[in-house]
Amino acid sequence: MSSIERVRCCWWLLCGVALVAAACDGAGQGGVCPGNEDHAPQDVDEAKLLTFWQGSITVNAEKKLHGDLAEDTIAHAGFSDMYEFRPVDPAVQPYSEACYVVMSQPTDIKRCVVVDCTADTDCPDGFACHYSDCVPEFRSCTAAGDCPDSQYCEIMTAEGDPRHPLGFCMSPLCEEQDECAAGLDCADSRYYHLHVDSVTFGGMAGDDEVLEPDANDLLSSGYWDGFAFEEAAVGVTVASGTGTRDFPGFSVEVPAPTMPRVTRFGGIDNPRLEESPQIGLSMERTEPLWVKWEAGDGDFIVITLTPGTGSQTAYGKLVCATEDDGCLRIPSSALLQLALDRAVNFKFRIGRYNRTVWWLEEGEEILAAADIEASAVLEAVVGR
């Protein structure tokens, strides 16, 4: 997870005063969790990621307690120009400060663009051909007259992107092809790959892992067999050039996470997750689901329940983001939403995440930013 909304709320405001704490406790299922209704604390400034040049670097250890019982660690990295990319986030229904259920799939807005090119002359004014894409050149604006004929001026409020508080020139929005001018296609808004020379991961098992780009600036993935976090921190070094489509180079460290160990699932102490314990979903359920684990020093914990076999809405997963204090109460109202699904089982995941954000500033402008995460995730299949 690269971004989690932070909403802080006192426990007594959610559960009532201490006189009704027993009602929140779920009829003796292990006691009230300290701080369990809070979203994960974030030490990074989310506003730093509000820029068009964005990087994402993840290194994730995953242990599966189902199927082939695999355990491995995988690293991914990507750097993109998000200038015209505007995805529409899925609708979510919150059930507590920690938990929500995804109610729809994400969609992309469409724009009138040139989807293929071999030279700059194939692109409209304000664009340059990069590989086979017509990539928009950043151009700030305050009115439509500031932009090329193929674009319009999208005004941002002062609370919007801090790098571009006034506005910027964008390709026209569309829903159907006949809304676009001749020579332009109505296509999903796109992001464009930026170049780096390499991404190197240190502090892992064995030699340093180096990711390198292909001809289209897509980076390879790193792979380790088993749990590969060997040192206290993962060192990440991005090497790059100074070209107009080169993402800036940088070096950071992120603390290495430990694998979570679940100590309670519902009414079961020290559950054998590989044996697929039951959630106990029904439309009559009034009790919350308690999940406990050995508390750690992660920046946050993410717990998900994703519909499995028999589901017609597999995107409708439950997501909870909370502090790494060892306990979470999943409200019964969220479980009732899951009970509407026809799935006979659910994928249960609990992950410990550490995160940092790197950014490059020039004055008050954020020129580029990268989100770096290290995580350790335990996955099992649980029954309905």
Q: What percent of the chain has pLDDT over 70?
A: 85
């690269």: which residue's tokens?
A: 2
* 51 vs 178, more confident: 178
**Cα gap 1→42, rounded to integer Å:** 12
pLDDT given for residue 49 in this prediction: 80
Which sign, positive or negative, has the C-alpha torsion 278, 316, 100, 305? Answer: positive
Q: Which of 85, 110, 116, 83 minimizes the C-alpha distance to 183?
A: 116
**What is the overall mean pLDDT for the chain?**
85
At position 239, the amino acid (one-letter code) is A
Which of 32-41, 140-149, 222-231 has the weakest average pLDDT?
32-41
- Mean pLDDT confidence for 250-275: 97
How much is the pLDDT for 230?
Answer: 96
Amino acid at 15: C
Rounded Cα distance between 90 and 317, Å, is: 11
* 3-state SS class at 122: helix
Note the pLDDT of residue 330.
Answer: 95
Query: Higher pLDDT residue, 32 or 24?
Result: 32
Which residues are CB-neighbours of 75 under 8 A, at least 6 positions away?
A: 57, 58, 59, 60, 199, 201, 209, 211, 221, 222, 223
- Is the confidence at residue 19, as pLDDT, over 70? no
> What does the alpha-carbon distance between residue 321 and residue 301 come to, in Å, rounded to a whole number?
6
pLDDT at 127 over 50: yes
The 3-class secondary structure across 165-206, one letter per residue, is CCEEEECCEECCHHHCCCCCEEEECCCEECECCEEEEECECC
* Residue matched to tokens 């946050």: 300
The CA distance from 198 to 221, in Å, is 11
- Sign of the torsion formed by the C-alpha atoms of 255, 261, 266 and 267: negative
User: CB atoms < 10 A from the CB of 14, how many?
Assistant: 16
What gap in Å lies between CA 267 and CA 289, rounded to an integer? 8
pLDDT digits (tens, 9 = 90+) for 37-49: 556 666 666 767 8
Beta-carbon contacts of 107 under 8 Å, excluding residues fewer than 6 positions away, are: 87, 88
Q: Please, which pLDDT band fits residue 227 given cuts at 50, 70 and 90?
A: very high
pTM value is 0.84
For the stretch 300-337, pLDDT in tens is 999 999 999 999 888 899 999 999 999 999 999 999 99
Q: Which residues contact 86 (CB under 8 A, 6 or more apart)?
A: 108, 109, 189
Residue 68 is predicted with a pLDDT of: 83
| C-beta of residue 60 within 8 angstroms of C-beta of residue 379 | no
pLDDT at 315: 84
Report the pLDDT value the prediction gives residue 114, as an integer from 0 to 100: 83
For 91-95, 105-109, 137-141, 260-264, which range has the lowest pLDDT when averaged over its residues?
A: 137-141
pLDDT tier at 106, thresholds 50, 70, 90: confident
Average of per-residue pLDDT across 256-262: 98
* HSE value, Cβ hemisphere, 13 Å, CA-based, for 283: 3
Per-residue confidence at 21, pLDDT binned at 50, 70, 90?
very low
Sign of the alpha-carbon torsion through 119, 122, 128, 129: negative
Given this model, what pLDDT does residue 22 score? 29
Mean pLDDT, residues 197-219 taken together: 96
What gap in Å lies between CA 384 and CA 266, rounded to an integer? 12
Q: Which residues pair with 87 in a beta bridge?
A: 108
Q: Are 106 and 90 in contact (CB under 8 A)?
A: yes
Q: Do residues 81 and 273 touch, judged by C-beta distance below 8 A?
A: no
- Residue with the two structure tokens 């604006």: 141
- Residue 138, Cβ neighbours under 10 Å: how many? 13
Distance (Å, rounded) from C-alpha 246 to C-alpha 262?
A: 43
The CA distance from 217 to 243, in Å, is 14
